[in-house]
Structure 1
Amino acid sequence: MNIVVLAGGLSTERDVSFKSGDMVCKALRSLGHRVLLLDVFLGYHDTEEDISDIFEHTEEASVEVSDIPDTAPDIAAVKASRADQSDCFFGPNVIAICRKADVVFMALHGENGENGKVQAAFDLFGIRYTGNGYLSSAIAMDKGISKEFFKSYGVPCPQGFSLSVEEADAPRQPLAYPCVVKPACGGSSIGVSIVHNETEYKKALADAFVWEDQVVIEDYIQGREFSVGVIEGKALPVIEIAPIQGFYDYKNKYAAGSAVETCPADLPADITAQMQRYAEMVVEALGLETYSRMDFLLNEKDQIFCLEANTLPGMTPTSLLPQEAAVIGVDFPALCQQIIDISLKRFEK
């Protein structure tokens, strides 16, 4: 197959996206596919602007990827580096190249990758892509909105509320301290703070509003962190994430050795089964059709809380979904192929 792996963009998770894309690209090439790693925002151009035989020289035309930095990318610098300085989100030749592909593997993370906008555009252009459709992606992306869906299906989640930047001057107070403040649509724990008093709360709001105009404030749940992937409605083994220092923030997510990840998680069978069932219920609640990953906390009373749904889970060397799949005998190339196969079923209806 001729495959575009789409990565990059203007999200705070831009660098993570490239790492996911690079790993997926190499895996699919090992299966014999012709695969191009493409930056959705910077696009592709050469001296002739000829893309007629782009899939004949995919390795030379692909984005070169480096390790994930410890800090989020400078989005202003990325915008300034674009040659045509267009205000169009799709870079030069992106749509044309994607239309030539048999399928686009979505390795995008964060804004304009997981919020359904790219998916909606691709639907209009007749481009087939991996992952979920635009509506379920949009709902899952907003942590405040998705939690309302969780609750309507009986999936427990932390108590809290959403706050807009217009309300920042006279913000609604948390139910209690400590609490968590985070951007409503962000990922990779960027802009997330655990706060213990009003002074920290005001600073956390200011920090979160740097990234977005909408934030979520919720009760802080002290406990163990877990994640559960779901493929075609069936939960994978539960994985536990134990950061060596602090909480599971941006650095701990992507720096090798920063967290201990155990799969299958060391849990009683009934708690494992319940957590997996909650993950499957989230899929039902949000209308997710292909693959996704849900994040959970378990407190000292063995109460389970669902934090969020990820519609395009990370596919980096330290990512959770590939580790879960490996436990049931699905290696990384096979997982990438499976994602393509089940995603293409959406376009056969």
Structure 2
Amino acid sequence: MSRWKAATVAVLLGGRSAEREVSLVSGAACADALDAAGFRTVRIDAADRLVERLVELRPDVCFNALHGRFGEDGRVPGLLDLLGIPYTHSGVLASALAMDKPQAKRVFQAVGLRCPEGVETSYAELVEHGPPIPGPIVVKPACEGSSVGVLIAPDGDITALARRNDVDPAQRLMVETYVRGRELTCGVLDDRALAVTEIVPRDGFYDYRAKYTSGFADHVVPADLPPEVYDSVLDWALRAHRALGCRGTSRCDFRWDPDQPGNDGLHLLEINTQPGMTPLSLLPEQAAFCGIPFGELVQRLLESARCDT
């Protein structure tokens, strides 16, 4: 029997990030699954009066279904640590490192995981001086998720980005060499790599729309890859998870250039400590492939809840 069966489980969802709508769907799905299993849940939208509501309610445990900044970057885990409320998913340090792409990349490279060549810069510097590396390039915010604000420039042309007037000039950006080839992802659950999925967008790249709108991308699980590459993706995802000190679950994204021999074309792009839990999300799909239905997945995450004290 679950240690939280008689507890009040606060499901944190929504929030104030650019991924608010996705979090609302993820959180509702997780809360529904816990309700169906007999848990007593309360849904809390983290966009408003979060501290006050947590202090008023004083839940026994929190299921963190937030995505993006202010929920996935270590701030909410830090708050819950201070309040002494156990919570799911990674703690402060792992969450903060994973959200900060340049910092995460430094950790990955230190443990021998290949990442695309990249340079950290700012929006103002990029517009004034141009790309710091030759094209093809990918320009992405240093601290966002779900492909929010990502620009792929095959010839290094950043005109589209330079024309934007809604960007803070000081915003930190990551400019990386674009790795041609196939898009792969691998989830980790309870310190075990689950499976490798190939993502095949039907148009363009795997952007926010393709991730969360039915019919814009196909998921192939297990990915049809040479065994050496498939096993390496599993191994790298688990090593990345451990290197940052993640717990519960995470999901790593990769690019693989099949024109390179063996694993030479494999590159780790980033890690996500709060993988989506929507009907189109990749982690639940991989868990199901491994024989773990959605309800069990959610309960296993709940069982991993704790504070970092």
TM-score scaled to structure 2, two decimals? 0.91
> What is the Cα deviation at residue 289 of structure 1?
2.3
Structure-2 separation of matches of 1:343 and 1:286: 18
Q: Output one character per residue of 1:79-98: Cα deviation in whole Å (capped at 9) or x when no partner.
A: xxxxxxxxxxx36524432x
Q: Output one character per residue of 1:140-175: Cα deviation in whole Å (capped at 9) or x when no partner.
A: 111111111111111111101111245345335332
Structure-1 separation of matches of 2:234 and 2:43: 33
Contact 1:225 1:298 (8 Å CA) reproduced: yes
Report what 1:126 is aligned to: 84
Structure-2 separation of matches of 1:205 and 1:289: 39
TM-score scaled to structure 1, two decimals? 0.81
Counterpart of 2:82, as a letter, is L
Asked if 1:231 corresponds to 2:193, the answer is no
Report what 1:249 is aligned to: 207
Contact 2:61 2:305 (8 Å CA) reproduced: no
2:239 aligned counterpart, secondary structure = helix
Asked if 1:280 corresponds to 2:238, the answer is yes
Report what 2:32 is aligned to: 26
Q: Output one character per residue of 1:198-232: Cα deviation in whole Å (capped at 9) or x when no partner.
A: 5x314325659727811100001111111111122
Report what 1:307 is aligned to: 269
Report what 2:171 is aligned to: 213
Report what 1:109 is aligned to: 67
Report what 1:93 is aligned to: 53
Asked if 1:204 corresponds to 2:135, the answer is no
Contact 1:315 1:321 (8 Å CA) reproduced: yes
After the TM superposition, which of the residue ranges 231-240 and 208-217 deviates more from structure 2? 208-217
After the TM superposition, which of the residue ranges 241-250 and 335-344 deviates more from structure 2? 335-344
Contact 1:4 1:38 (8 Å CA) reproduced: yes
Root-mean-square deviation (CA), in Å? Answer: 2.0
Counterpart of 2:77, as a letter, is Q
1:272 aligned counterpart, secondary structure = helix
Structure-2 separation of matches of 1:169 and 1:308: 25
Contact 1:294 1:310 (8 Å CA) reproduced: yes
Report what 1:325 is aligned to: 287
1:93 aligned counterpart, secondary structure = helix
2:128 aligned counterpart, secondary structure = coil
Residue 175 of structure 1, aligned match among 133, 142, 151: 133
Structure 1, unmatched stretches of 5+, are 44-89
Report what 1:146 is aligned to: 104
Decide whether aligned partners of structure 1 residues 182 and 207 sit closer, same or farther in structure 2, where only a CA change above 3 A counts.
farther
Number of residue-to-residue matches in the alignment:
298
Residue 38 of structure 1, aligned match among 40, 44, 67: 44
> What is the Cα deviation at residue 108 of structure 1?
0.4
1:37 aligned counterpart, secondary structure = strand
After the TM superposition, which of the residue ranges 213-222 and 281-290 deviates more from structure 2? 281-290
Report what 1:82 is aligned to: none
Counterpart of 1:204, as a letter, is L
Report what 1:78 is aligned to: none
Report what 2:4 is aligned to: none
Contact 2:131 2:175 (8 Å CA) reproduced: no
Structure-2 separation of matches of 1:208 and 1:9: 25
Structure-2 separation of matches of 1:37 and 1:93: 11
Structure 2, unmatched stretches of 5+, are 1-6
1:191 aligned counterpart, secondary structure = coil
Report what 1:75 is aligned to: none
Structure-1 separation of matches of 2:40 and 2:95: 27
